[in-house]
């Protein structure tokens, strides 16, 4: 069994506290001033801050390594070399943001030799495990059957069986890690017309997922992730939310759809997709990221912050609606950090997601409802814009401060010298392939 590495250098809680002490009085002034503005509109800033402080999002294990494109990858010397080092980096993000207590593992990329040891190691760092991700979109060394022509939808039953058994294994590992969900994304599809029989392949994938579902523990959920294209360039078996919905409806109550923000064709009204899934009781969770062209895996809110706000507007609306039962979508990030330091980009991402959430909490819902009922288009839109236009930075920073996280995460991180320390500790013998490429 591989030796469990030492955690090495860690940013201390006191270091964060001292940094916070230096800027807290400025934050208080900004917070008070925003609080006054909001109270004139009948909003209690402390209540918003409390809600933001309760928000958390899972970090994907693969996002802690340097990402890349099909053309190349440019890792730094201190890139984590294994899941233990990734957890140490995840702990740094959580310390800085106070909002990422969980990691979503990809199997086999981050398959633990000893799940019990990993669970303990993570717990010592204050980290636990979110949804498990299976991988039947790549072949692994020693694997009997290839996924070149599909996995859960493959024409040959022995290939489907292998893919089903892989998912069962991921559930088993997840149970030991105290995870409560499995996310399934498959690359199955065709690159040329005629290659795949559409109805038969969907039938096969649904039947395979039914077998996986049959092994889900009672308190588990399965998230079915859709994607319009890539790696298949002509047709994808689970291509959109409608197909994911049909599958999850057939599977049963433990199944929900996973909305990866980058998995939509250009100009799709993603917030409306989200609202449709809420209405159908099938919104399982999210993979947050952003894009300009397709599945670019850029940092959440970097390109379309208004869209992110409109998505959170639907989420807040649903959370406040007593007719929407058991509303608890799983929040996960799914990004490729190929230019920025992953710890910095993840911290920036969490901030951006919380920003969208905080703004959505500021929407005057009673007024919006009246304007909608009266068909007052201008004021209905202006009600959303009024919330979006606030600079909620003091709320996010105060939410972090209240949890002992950093008022200014990036500044504290850079001042801590973490990267330089890890450069020394993690001598890269070879450039590893641990991010999305």
Nearest approach, Cβ of residue 180 and ligand PSV (Å) = 18
Site for ligand PSV in 101-140 (CB under 6 A): 133
Nearest approach, Cβ of residue 304 and Mn ion (Å) = 17
The binder of 151, among Mn ion, ligand PSV, none, by C-beta within 5 to 8 A per type, is none
Nearer to ligand PSV, 20 or 134 (CB): 134
Nearer to ligand PSV, 354 or 434 (CB): 434
Structure tokens at 98: 């106070």
Nearest approach, Cβ of residue 434 and ligand PSV (Å) = 12
Q: Which region among 23-31, 254-262, 273-281, 379-387 touches Mn ion (by CB under 5 A)?
A: 254-262
Nearer to ligand PSV, 9 or 229 (CB): 229
- Say if CB 282 and CB 325 are below 8 A apart: no
Nearest approach, Cβ of residue 208 and ligand PSV (Å) = 17
Q: What is the dihedral of CA 109, 331, 64, 231, to 10 degrees?
A: 50
Q: What is the distance between the alpha carbons of residues 334 and 258, in angstroms, rounded to a whole number?
A: 12
Positive or negative, the CA dihedral 29, 30, 31, 33 is positive
Percent composition of the chain: helix, strand, coil (DSSP 3-state, to 5):
50, 10, 40
Site for ligand PSV in 29-88 (CB under 6 A): 62
Contacts of 32 (CB under 8 A, 6+ apart): none
Contacts 24+ apart (CB under 8 A), 137-143: 137/185, 137/186, 137/187, 137/231, 140/108
Q: Quick check: 408 binds ligand PSV (CB under 6 A)?
A: no
β-pairing, 128-129 vs 102-104, is parallel
373-401 core/surface letters (b: 16 or more CB in 10 A; e: else): eeeeeeebeebbebbbebebebbbbbbbb
Which helix (H) or strand (E) is 363 found in, with range?
none
Nearest approach, Cβ of residue 312 and ligand PSV (Å) = 20
Candidate list 188, 260, 344, 351; residue touching Mn ion; CB under 5 A:
260
Binding mask 291-320 for ligand PSV (x = CB under 6 A): ----x-------------------------
Instruction: Tell me the CA end-to-end span of the chain in Å, nearest whole number.
Output: 28
Structure tokens at 114: 């000893």
Positive or negative, the CA dihedral 370, 371, 372, 374 is positive
- Say if CB 163 and CB 150 are below 8 A apart: no
Structure tokens at 129: 């495990």
Q: Quick check: 287 binds Mn ion (CB under 5 A)?
A: yes
Site for ligand PSV in 259-288 (CB under 6 A): 260, 287
Nearest approach, Cβ of residue 334 and ligand PSV (Å) = 5
Candidate list 85, 110, 334, 408; residue touching ligand PSV; CB under 6 A:
334
The binder of 92, among Mn ion, ligand PSV, none, by C-beta within 5 to 8 A per type, is none
Nearest approach, Cβ of residue 303 and Mn ion (Å) = 17
Q: Quick check: 290 binds ligand PSV (CB under 6 A)?
A: no
Q: Quick check: 185 binds ligand PSV (CB under 6 A)?
A: yes
- Say if CB 201 and CB 150 are below 8 A apart: yes
Candidate list 225, 290, 344, 408; residue touching ligand PSV; CB under 6 A:
225
User: What is the size of the binding site for Mn ion (CB under 5 A)?
Assistant: 3
Closest CA to 277 of 300, 262, 260, 299: 260
Alpha helices (H) along 177-304:
198-214, 241-251, 270-279
Nearest approach, Cβ of residue 377 and ligand PSV (Å) = 36
The binder of 204, among Mn ion, ligand PSV, none, by C-beta within 5 to 8 A per type, is none
Nearer to ligand PSV, 59 or 96 (CB): 59
Site for Mn ion in 323-352 (CB under 5 A): 334
User: Residue 426's Cα: distance from chain center in Å?
Assistant: 27
Partners of 258 in the β-ladder: 225, 285
Q: Quick check: 290 binds Mn ion (CB under 5 A)?
A: no
C-alpha to C-alpha distances, 302 to 75, 86, 297, 339, 345, nearest whole angstrom: 21, 24, 11, 14, 10
Nearest approach, Cβ of residue 43 and ligand PSV (Å) = 36
Q: Which region among 40-48, 212-220, 257-265, 405-413 touches Mn ion (by CB under 5 A)?
A: 257-265
Nearest approach, Cβ of residue 334 and Mn ion (Å) = 4
Nearer to ligand PSV, 204 or 287 (CB): 287
Nearest approach, Cβ of residue 171 and Mn ion (Å) = 19
Closest CA to 222 of 244, 201, 202: 244
Binding residues (CB under 6 A) for ligand PSV: these are 62, 133, 185, 225, 227, 260, 287, 295, 334, 436
Binding residues (CB under 5 A) for Mn ion: these are 260, 287, 334
């Amino acid at each position: 069994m591989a030796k469990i590495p030492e955690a090495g250098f860690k940013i201390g809680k006191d270091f964060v506290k001292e940094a916070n002490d230096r800027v807290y009085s400025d934050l208080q002034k900004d917070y008070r001033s925003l609080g006054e503005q909001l109270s004139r509109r009948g909003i209690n800033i402390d209540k918003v801050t409390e809600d933001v402080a309760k928000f958390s999002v899972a970090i994907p294990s693969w996002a802690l390594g340097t990402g890349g494109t099909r053309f190349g990858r440019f890792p730094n010397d201190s890139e984590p070399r294994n899941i233990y080092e990734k957890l140490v980096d995840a702990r740094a993000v959580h310390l800085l943001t106070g909002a990422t207590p969980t990691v979503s593992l990809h199997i086999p990329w981050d398959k633990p030799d000893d799940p019990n040891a990993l669970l303990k190691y993570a717990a010592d760092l204050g980290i636990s495990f979110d949804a498990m991700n299976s991988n039947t979109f790549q072949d692994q060394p020693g694997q009997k059957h290839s996924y070149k022509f599909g996995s859960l939808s493959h024409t040959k039953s022995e290939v489907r069986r292998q893919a089903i058994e892989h998912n069962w294994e991921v559930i088993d590992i997840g149970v030991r890690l105290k995870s409560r969900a499995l996310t399934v994304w498959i690359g199955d599809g065709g690159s040329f017309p005629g290659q795949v029989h559409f109805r038969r392949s969907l039938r096969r994938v649904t039947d395979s997922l039914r077998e996986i579902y049959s092994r889900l523990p009672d308190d588990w959920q399965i998230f079915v992730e859709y994607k319009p294209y890539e790696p298949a360039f002509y047709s994808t078996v689970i291509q959109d939310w409608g197909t994911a919905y049909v599958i999850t409806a057939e599977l049963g109550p433990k199944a929900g759809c996973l909305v990866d923000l980058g998995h939509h064709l250009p100009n799709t009204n993603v917030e409306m997709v989200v609202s449709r899934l809420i209405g159908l009781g099938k919104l399982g969770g999210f993979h947050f990221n952003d894009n300009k062209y397709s599945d670019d895996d850029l940092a959440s809110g970097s390109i379309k912050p208004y869209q992110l706000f409109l998505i959170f507007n639907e989420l807040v609306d649903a959370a406040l609606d007593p007719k929407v039962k058991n509303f608890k979508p799983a929040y996960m990030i799914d990004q490729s950090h190929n230019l920025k330091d992953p710890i910095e980009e993840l911290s920036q991402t969490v901030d951006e997601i919380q920003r969208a959430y905080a703004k959505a909490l500021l929407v005057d819902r009673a007024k919006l409802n009246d304007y909608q009922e009266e068909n007052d288009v201008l004021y209905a839109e202006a009600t959303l814009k009024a919330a979006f236009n606030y600079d909620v930075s003091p709320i996010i920073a105060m939410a972090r401060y209240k949890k002992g996280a950093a008022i200014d995460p990036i500044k504290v991180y850079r001042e801590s010298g973490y990267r330089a320390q890890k450069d020394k500790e993690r001598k890269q013998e070879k450039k590893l392939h641990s991010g999305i490429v």
